[in-house]
Structure 1
Amino acid sequence: MDKISESPVAEADRPDAPKATGRTNRSAALIATAVALPVTLLVAALAFANLAPDTPAATPDPSPTTPQAQSTTPVEMAAPALAERPAIVCRALLSQLPTAIRELAQRPVTAGPEQNAAYGDPALTVACGGTEPEVAPDEHLVLVNSVCWYTVEGPDDTQLTTVDRETAVTVRVPHFYGEALQWVSPISRTVAESIRSATPAPSGCTS
């Protein structure tokens, strides 16, 4: 009787044979995924950081000594009609006023640029040709750079008016800027150079 030869069964086809190749492929895929995922996340994070706008630096609170954006809107001021001589005096004064008082740049005014000026935001104003105040003998007057000023404290500003010049000049300094006399000092120099002294000056104006 002839012997029937048995064909060898491939090891991979045997039910009990370990599928080494499949496990190897799956392990390699898992490792590749584990490596690729952090790289993908890193690339995405870098791309987002490049697209995101820079965080703006904190803006310091405005103060009289801190440069700040200033409004260019004209400052509302009255411009009463002046007689010939005061009008000439005021034009001379306005032509000599500085373009800035300390760090406060000059701003346009709504009326009377030949007699009015404004600086900064909030506005410090200079008005020429107004009415000189009545000053009692015991009133407190302040002499600044040879110009005598009568001061009145208001709720929002300090008003200073000359009382020793042929044409009166009034300066309003917002309380925001602190001590008013430090701001009126450069204006006083221009007033002294542009407007003649009145005679006689109030007794409290002597230095």
Structure 2
Amino acid sequence: MRFSRRVVLISVSAVACLSAAAVYTFAPGSDDKIAVPVPDAKVATMCRALHAELPAKVNGLSRHDLKPRSDLIAGWGNPAIVLRCGVPRPAIDLDPNADAVDVDGVSWSFDRLGNGSARLTTTLRMAYVEVTLPKKRATDVYPLTDLAGAVKHTIPEGIA
């Protein structure tokens, strides 16, 4: 079978475009499609309660719907600060030397991602709540102060 150079270049270009689109679509902080967690029923109930109590503003940024619409995700600003509730326990929690922060009575593990964004995940709660801060907002944890009250009120302390 013989391939012409034109067919090969078109195929390579198409694959490159699809790959770039996939990376963009699921990039943390993107307002496009966000991976929705799939927790068990008990955790999903807590997450729906959290969703109902989330603030209209986080760090001065307005809340808006993400795609797909779900009670398990929320976003503020653009690029978005993204909250996902019901995520699995992060691997970083197994590292005794991992960075962590306590904000208004809610403990969070801290993980800097390769693209410059930061992922913070609750610890010692009955459901894991993950907040991804896009690169331009990843230098501080102030957004967590706006989220701590809702997390404390809806996600009980304990070990998930």
Could you say which TM-score interval applies, normalised by the shorter chain? Answer: 0.7 to 0.9
Structure 2: gaps (5+ residues) = 1-29
Highest RCO, 1 vs 2 (Cα 8 Å, sep ≥ 6)? 2
CA distance in 2, matches of 1:174, 1:80: 19
CA distance in 1, matches of 2:88, 2:74: 17
RMSD of aligned residue pairs (Cα, Å): 2.0
* Residues 38-187 of structure 1 mapped to structure 2, 5 A cutoff: 75-133=32-90, 134-154=93-113, 155-177=115-137, 179-187=139-147
Q: Calculate percent identity across the aligned residue pairs.
A: 24
Secondary structure, in 3 states, of the residue corresponding to 2:136?
helix
Query: CA shift at 1:179, angstroms?
Result: 2.8
Q: TM-score, normalised by structure 2?
A: 0.73
Structure 1: gaps (5+ residues) = 1-72, 201-207
Q: Is the 8 A contact 1:132 1:162 kept in 2?
A: no
Q: TM-score, normalised by structure 1?
A: 0.57
Letter in 2 for 1:129: G
Give every structure 1 segment of 4 or more consecutive aligned residues whose post-TM-superposition deviation is greater than 3 Å: none
The number of equivalent residue pairs is 128
Letter in 2 for 1:92: A
CA radius of gyration, larger in? 1
Secondary structure, in 3 states, of the residue corresponding to 1:149?
strand
